[in-house]
Chain A
Amino acid sequence: MSTLALTSPQAARRSLLTLLANETRAELTKALRSPAFVLPTLALPLAFYSLFGIVLAPPGGGNAGYLLATFGVFAGLGPALFGFGAAIADERARGVLALKQVSPLPVGVFLGAKLATALVFTGTVLVGLYALAALWGGVALPRPAWLLLAVIQLLGVVPFCLLGLCIGLGLASSAAMGVTNLVFMVLAVLGGLWIPIMLFPGWMQAIGSVLPTYHVAALALQATGRTAGTDPWLHVAVLGASAAIFAAIAWRAWRAMPR
């Protein structure tokens, strides 16, 4: 608190921003130096979308447009879950997190940098997906729909990041990687990101409909003009509630950590 007394509020905010920028750059550098993170998060959504949305999709069948909405959600799932879940568990195990805790780095900056990194990765994949969809998928949307889609698919990573945080703070490093992978697959497949959820049997749809990925995908589909027959605010409410629950769990795990 003493720093606040010494500096003006603007300067404090500015130094915080500089701190966030530096921390984000460090996070990005770290992520980019890890091919095990970069390849799956960047290449997987683009490769899968090319395959299912374009190459294997019958022309004129509307698959490219539908899967653009769901694969754009998938694009954010990897960076969020792996960047927060497996990565934080690893940082904990190697003592990096403890180092950050004793350093004067505010926890908000630590998490903000990770969120910014997830957003940069997601945004990069989205640019690739939109280009594929426009050039080879025959997808054309009104300009506001393109923007709304991007906003939903970017903001949609927040609940996934918080879920990743629960895993990263709550589980041992050895378990975190496996659990992250499992959660990643379940959220992607049962949430209907790879295959439209209405093609599943009823019991699978029932499971899918409680997953946050399903609700982000429903909003993305609605943004592209696909009537999901549901109230968009319901999806927003479910996502808000699940984000709050994940945040509470993460907070408890944070408090329970030895320091």
Chain B
Amino acid sequence: MRISSKLLAAGGLVAALAAFFLALPEPGDRQGAATGGAFAIRGARVFDGEQVLPKATVLVRDGRIEAVGRNLEIPAGVAIIEAAGRTLLPGLIDSHVHAWGSALVDALNFGVTTTLGMFGDPAMLRELKPHRESLAPVAFADHFSSGWLATVPGGHGTQFGLPVPTLTTPAEAAPWVEARLAEGSDYIKIVYEPKGAGGLGPPFPSLDAPTMQALIEATKARSRPAVVHISRLEPARTALEAGADGLVHVFADRPIDEAFLALAVGRGAFVTPTLAVTASIAGEGEGAALALDPRVAPFLSPDQQRTLTQVVQHRLAFLNPAVGLDATRRLAAAGVDILAGSDAPNPGTAQGVSLHHELAMLVRAGLTPVEALVAATSAPARRFGLQERGRIAPGMRADLLLVAGDPTTDIGATLDIERIWKNGAPVERRRYTPTTP
């Protein structure tokens, strides 16, 4: 009898341990339930992701936008937020970030509700994926990512000491892409920085054109976007000729030419110019100035404060920000999709806040404020296939940004943030004590 009671206890322990293991969460378990309840934002100027509705009411229920209309009837019992004179925007989408540490909290603190990573830890991406499917309130921005990037041993992207899986030949391209998709990558980013005529170019090796082309083809065969990092005109041309869906920087070495414009239009490519980071690399110091803006300073986390005021150590002499601005203006005028991306947290940029900087840069380049807002909302949603994001319309996720003033005429007003909602839940903005007097 003593033996059997011992066996019973042992069996009970084993069963309890097994039950514990079965109870541990698996990816996708999290069934996101929105915070119940509804509210209406009444009378705001609404930029719906594509156009401006001068005065409209937006009804939000269970994490989604239920209705948008000029004379919308608000059901009884629904809380009303009066927003006359203010502007309601879709939560912003930053199309070029590198997310580490507090990145996604910092992004959301400035109204960026969705981020597109262009090189980051695939394990972090996998952990975050359930959140972006969910409508439950979250304290951080949603994240999509390329995971690792395609580069050669010693090439751009390997300088951070992270275990980037590299490749060198076209034959490795298809398995490389398969491995990334298996890791969870949403799209594929390729670094193409070949030496130019006379061996000029960045001081690191690069993939060759055939390998880039093989990577693009393998990615397209899996119906995913293939995007390419370039910094100069000729490599950008080669990338588009190879079939790239988009460029995640604009070139800033030589003026754009008609042939390139025709190529970009003909291929239906998009460009994420990342003008703010080009300006920073050229040493223009606008990030440090932005850090002192009273609308920015109290909300900067220590990380944001540090990266925004950081100065680039090695300026790339061949980059001329004016060339990038001009190329952006002409690409936009030709009808090429422009996406707003900050490339944070590179020196002189910070998560979230630098997307606002980028919007201002796009307007400086020659886009209208509305075109700039499209570049941070509906355009990236369309180009990256992001469902239910980037627009204020029935059925869309209620990621919203309410600002004072009118950014559809004065782009700087995007920083006059009054309210942020993520998945229909209000976001309490984080305030930090300024670290420097």
Give A contacts to B, CB under 8 Å.
Answer: 58-63, 65-66, 127, 130-131, 134, 138-143, 146-147, 150, 198, 224-230
Contacts and interface: CB of A to CB of B under 8 A. Distances in A.
Contacts of A142: 26-27
B163 A59 contact: no
Given A58-B101, A62-B123, 7 more contacts: A60-B104, A60-B128, A62-B127, A140-B27, A142-B27, A143-B22, A226-B123
Interface in B110-162: 121-124, 126-128, 130-131, 138-141, 143, 161-162
Nearest to B126: A225
Interface in B160-218: 161-165, 183
A52 to B, nearest CB: 13
Contacts of A59: 104-105, 138-140
20 contacts: A58-B103, A59-B104, A59-B138, A59-B140, A60-B139, A60-B140, A60-B141, A61-B124, A62-B121, A62-B124, A134-B25, A138-B127, A139-B25, A139-B127, A140-B130, A141-B27, A150-B21, A198-B162, A226-B123, A229-B165
B315 interface: no
B239 to A, nearest CB: 26
B123 A140 contact: no
Interface residues of B, number: 38
Contacts of B76: none
Nearest to A142: B26
A142 B165 CA distance: 23
A227 B102 contact: no
A58 B20 contact: no
A60 B138 contact: yes
Given A59-B105, A226-B123, A230-B163, A140 B26 contact: yes
B100 interface: yes
Nearest to B131: A60
A230 B183 CA distance: 16
Contacts of A225: 122-123, 126, 183
Nearest to A58: B102
A147 B28 CA distance: 18
A130 B24 contact: yes
B29 interface: yes
Interface string B18-57: 0011111111111000000000000000000000000000
